[in-house]
Structure 1
Amino acid sequence: MAAPLWLREEAWLRELLGWFLDKLEGPRARAITRRAKPSTVPALFQFHEDTQYRWELIEKLATEHSVFSIVYDRNIAAFDQPYENAQLRLNPDAEDLLRDWLDRPRIDPAQQAWERAVAPHRQRFADNGASLLAARPVAAGYEADALAAAFAAIGDHLEGELTLREIAARCFRGDSKFLDQRQELLLKLHGERAAAILPRPLLLTAWAPPDFTQLLVVENQDSFLRLAAHPPPGFALLYSGGFRASAGRLGSEHTRFAFLPGSDSAAFREQWLSEQLPVSFWGDLDFAGLGILKALRQSLPGLRAWEPGYRPMLALLEQGGGHRPEQAGKSGQTDPAETGCVFCDRTLLPALRRHGRFVDQEAVAPD
């Protein structure tokens, strides 16, 4: 609703309404009220002006716009103005209307506190803290001052000796994962210095017998160790640990391997990621497991589903076995649509869609 034309001409009234907005922006425990007295609303007692008209404007705000409710004082003297000591009680629902009339956008007290907290540290940031002010981080249990100081303290650890998780644990009360999704924010706050953070190595466990000719990537630990105890002939084994091995870091220089006893580690490193080494994957027969297969194919384009592992799982599914997604907290899994593996796309995924059930790989022994 547009402001009444007469409000533009009455500076005293805009000042009065501004006082009520000031009170709304501060801490309060009771309704916001003001008594009409010479000390509080002097414009109503400047009798060289048309004070009756001025009071009529206040009444319009109460009756036509519901800005106030007015409670008159019944004990005023006969010679006093009828509005003297009347109580103006602000209607909280009128806040947005007043802000629009007076062009005073709502101020978030939490944002104000955040701006005050960042201010002492602005010189420590490459962008003077602009990115922190533009998108206030949400962190349960942190007061604004402590959180701003923690982001500033990151600069004390950018000497190229620590990983992101080590820095997070040192700055954010031992929470090593606090910065995992905030790398872009760090680059804005600390600029080129953030590039000195050590990449976190991808740690994978492998078993590589002498003279292996193929590699099998296994999703789950129990199945990996079972196969390592009774290995399929000619296979080296790699434990992927869920999605960890699907990261883009898989083929980077920062990937690290831990080898089980009896492994030919030199031969494994020599053939790792070689296009001549056939690679298969065996994981859970569910959308997430086949999603891992799809993701791994970005680094290992020749990767395919390992049929000796999936065949008995498929048979169990066809016989009515397996669990429904909601029984194992898997309702949120997303169908990967196509993986690029023929056996997966033509056999495994259609079976999952047809039966609406999943099978974890620990349920079977490979053929």
Structure 2
Amino acid sequence: MTLDILGVIVWAFVVTKLFVADFDRMILASIAPQALWVLDLRWLLVLALLALVLLLLRARTLGFAVAYVVGFPLVLLLWKLPKFLVVRRSAVLTSTFAALVTGVASRARLFIVALAIACLSGAAILSGDTTLIAVGIVGMLVALVWWIVITGIDLLNSSAFIRAQAAAINFVLGNHHLERFVTPEQPDQVILKTWTTQDATKFRDTAGYAVLARRALLLWASAVSQFRRAPTALLLNACIFVVLFIQLVVVSAFVNYGLFSIDPTQFTYATSPDWLTFTNYAVSAVAFGEISALTPAFGWAVAVKVFMGVLGSVGVVTIIGSSFLAYRQGRSDHESDEAIVALRTKADALRDLSEEQFQMSIEDLQQKLLVTGWGMLKIVDWMREKTRLADVDQ
């Protein structure tokens, strides 16, 4: 628990310092500006703290703690979250987490490129040089429009999670590996007399795998069905809308700050505006609103406000927030239905194949496996409990 808290604090400090602001200097400047020189010697404080930790902890404990804190994001992603999902044993939670990871991964490369352009443009706007500010304004607007276009194109398809499910289903069901996996070698009377215990165990395990594979397909279909009915997809789509709105506000604030830095006469204001004023102005501009503290007065400022209002009210709210998201939801539902039908059809085919191969119903086969002590029946029972599909034997 202590290492978790320390990991959160350290990584929050790093992310904030790298991407938000040098907040430790800002806080000290407001409280004790005469002590700012202390921050120039922060490496001595870190060295002293490290020496103290070395004295208090053993080398092995310290090494583990340092590795844990440094790799804390990986610990969360690869250990904490999977452990939480296993403990909760919820197909909806698992599919939600998988959908989030799939969605982020599918757009990570383009997002990093857009973020890099935006960060470089923001640094140019804050540089104070007129030429760099102009370049930064253009870069910010290009990155924003590019990302909105990418998002719109992506929303014309189903969600990345549903597309990944369809690809996985096609891979699993398209090469007949399952049939070969659950089809035993049928012995004749002569070969049966020479069977060893190992041969009989192999035959029993193949029968068990047939039952297990069918249940796994039904559970998979159930997970897709629950994901479609759950509010997860709606929440993920809402997150896309919220992120776009935040991007609009941030870009609008930076662009208008850059215009103000180049030519303050583009705006009318009572007192010199700060970042809070520019942020408030950006929020109102996205919705074609106004604030009394800062209003556009001339060409460029008015043009930027109209442009951001069109992007926000028409581009994001109307086209993406309404039409594209509704279209995507409909397409995702359609592809989810196709995936569920494909999985259930394959599960029924495996049941028919097993009943033909073993000359008994799937229920009788499970009873035989129970009598012979096949150990993986508990997994089959757990899958049965978690399967939520109509017209499926429970």
TM range (shorter): under 0.3
Instruction: Kindly name which structure, 1 or 2, has the bigger radius of gyration based on alpha carbons.
Output: 1
Structure whose residues are more often helix by fraction: 2
Structure whose residues are more often strand by fraction: 1
> What's the TM-score, normalizing by structure 2?
0.19
> What's the TM-score, normalizing by structure 1?
0.20
